[in-house]
Amino acid sequence: MGLFQGLAQMMQRQRGHLFGWVPVLLACGIGLYFSLRLEPALIWLGVVAAVAAGLIVAARFAPEPLSPVILALALLLIGFDLAAWRAHSVASPVLGWRYYGSVEGRIVAIDRSQSDALRLTLDRVILDRVSTRRTPGRVRISLHGDQTHSIVPEPGLRVMTTGHLSPPSGAVEPGGFDFQRHAWFARLGAVGYTRTPLLGVAEASDGQAGLAVFRLRMAASARIQDTLPGDIGGFATAITTGDRSAISQTALYNLRASNLAHLLAISGLHMGLLCAVVFGTLRVLLCLVPWIALRWPTRSIAAAGALVVASGYLALSGGNVATERAFIMVSVALGALMLDRRALSLRAVAIAATIVLVLRPEALMGPGFQMSFAATTALVAVFGWLRNVNLTFGQKWLAPVVGTFISSAIAGLFTAPVGAAHFNTIAHFGLVANLASVPLMGIMIMPAAVAALVLSPLGFDPAALWVMGVGLRWILAVAAFVSDIDGAKGFVKGPGPWVLPLLALGFLWLLLWQGRLRFAGLVAVLAGFFLWHGAARPVLLIADTGGIVGVMTPQGRALSKPKGAGFIALNWLENDGDGADQPAAAARWDGAMTVAGHEIIHLSGKRALAAFGRCRSGQIIVTSVKVEEDLGPCTLFDPISLRETGAVAISVVDGQIKTQTARQMAGARLWTNWPDRKY
């Protein structure tokens, strides 16, 4: 058999199953764009678009076995250009220096920082002595210190304060989470904090639709918290309005440690449960009227009603990326019901993924997109297989119980690698916690939320909110109980850059390809886990400010100080798969740390630098303050040099030191904000 005939037979077998590859190929092109170290010139983006168009035309005239291959190449190039177009379309000024002075702007978002401080996002920003051309479109500022005399932040209110701002920082270590890229797509040009009380400059009188919805969200949050105070109310507002500012850090930790944190995000679970409740209720009500039931398409009408409610839920929740993704998936499913098609199929998942990638290509790089579609794809595939083999589970009353167990187990299994890769943790008892909690979302909490919405104009919503609170109180109790179990939370080291792509492509190949060649996907999955297991962590890590240093020891990473630079320290330890806190890691630092024969010395503050004197060859000196004079023949890292390189990672390869910087890993992209000097 010739090569052409073999290809023809192989592609013939794929007929009817090729659409699922559309989002996969788009994702490959998007991933290729984000993996570049240099930003492609606009002319090259035009060349890519022209080549993609030429391939689409060529596919129409190519022989049958070659046509899908040519289209695949075109889709990959389209994904590349989609990501580039999105990156250019969100361009906004980024602050190029550290700023201290007056900050004025309009409140467009309210949330909480990781340190539990209230945090405001401002647009229409005015900075003292900064031209409009160089002023960021949006800034995010945390409220620290005594804010008892501040005005109460309100959506649309124009405020002023005196604060510290800086450009979005780079990764805390080379190859780590790229906050600069995240901030670029969020249009954040500066982040910072203030210890000065907020002053009101102008009333919240802007009539924009977005701010009107924001005010409605905050009013609904306040109403819910009046009825359900504390973490119960914070949980309720998180799943109804997307406002997480009222839930405590303790509750958040418990939910994360028990693998229940996904219940906080308005995602596919909440949107799906809400639509299921509305769809079921509407259909039952319509069927109770025989004249309507016999003459009207009740299923399509109920699906349309559920879609309307889902649209309102999207607006009320703030329309973040996770909720938009959930809405698209639910819309595809409800649209299929209205057209009398199968609502849950791999084709529907592929349509939803394609829409999300076209609208927000950057979502591919985040854990939300990856975990959401990993769970959804696995669930649809597994339950589709169970339906095809007509597998039963005994008595009918057992079906919901078994279905809940299977869905929780499958979702947990296929999202665990993604969660572990991004957050470096595994909830060992997450399945138990989900089995004890998730059914309540559908049985009690979401129906009560719908009832509260319906009853609120009549003033009877407190009764429905009370019922909702009972279910949420149970979930928080389960989270607290599970998180207190010894060994409830495990830690894993961060994977290399090729691990998640290999796992995803291997899983998708196994699922989408038809024929025996599909089992090649297992090879990719096993290769991904093998690379993860063999991933090596840097021996030495240096923060981009010089404020903290971490050296790997047999007991784990030793940190140069027990407090300060806590966010960086926490990320380093998490990426190591180390469950220790900063004080415990600092206790490992014995004052005479060495790496490949080089003595590591960290000088924190001006006094330590002044008392040090001169260094010698073979020493690596890290300082948190600028060095004004020559210290000697050592290797020096101070804030000036680190500002140019970003965080530094040093590994030992064959007895030799290998240095890698965050700037080398991130490259020169639209969102990077490195000094002009070369490194």
Q: What is the pTM of this model?
A: 0.87
Question: What type of residue sits at position 654?
Answer: D
Please report, in angstroms and rounded to a whole number, the separation of the first and last CA atoms in the chain. 56
Spatial separation of the C-alpha atoms in residues 679 and 675, rounded to whole Å: 9
pLDDT at 3: 65
Angstrom distance (rounded) from CA 312 to CA 315: 5
Residue 373, both tokens: 């579609």
Q: d(Cα 395, Cα 475) in Å, to the nearest integer?
A: 28
34: Cβ contacts below 8 Å, ≥ 6 apart: 83, 181, 362, 364, 365
Q: What is the mean pLDDT of each run of 10 residues along the chain (679 residues)?
A: 64 76 94 93 93 90 81 95 94 90 89 80 90 91 84 85 91 89 92 89 65 77 86 86 80 85 74 82 88 85 88 75 77 82 77 90 88 84 76 64 75 84 85 84 82 80 88 91 86 89 92 85 92 89 91 91 88 89 90 84 88 86 87 88 90 86 90 67
| CA distance to 155, 358, 572, per residue, from 211 (Å) | 6, 26, 38
| Confidence at residue 678, expressed as pLDDT on a 0 to 100 scale | 42
DSSP 564: S
What is the C-alpha to C-alpha distance for residues 417 and 529, in angstroms, rounded to an integer?
9
Tell me the domain boundaries of the chain. Answer: 3-89, 99-206, 239-491, 499-533, 540-645
Q: What is the DSSP-derived secondary structure letter of residue 38?
A: B
User: 333: exposed, middle or buried (C-beta count within 10 Å: 0-12, 13-18, 19+)?
Assistant: buried
- Amino acid letter for position 448: A
Domain covering 99-206, topology: OB fold (Dihydrolipoamide Acetyltransferase, E2P) (2.40.50)
- What is the model's pLDDT at position 320? 67
Convert 526-545 into a string of H (helix), E (strand) and C (coil). HHHHHHHHCCCCCCEEECCC
Q: Which residue has the tokens 């440690």?
A: 257
Phi and psi at residue 110, to the nearest 5°: -135, 125
| Beta bridge pairs of residue 104 | 126, 160
Q: Looking at residue 200, what is its pLDDT?
A: 83
Strands 619-623 and 635-637: parallel
**CB atoms closer than 10 angstroms to residue 170:** 27
Residue type, 520: A
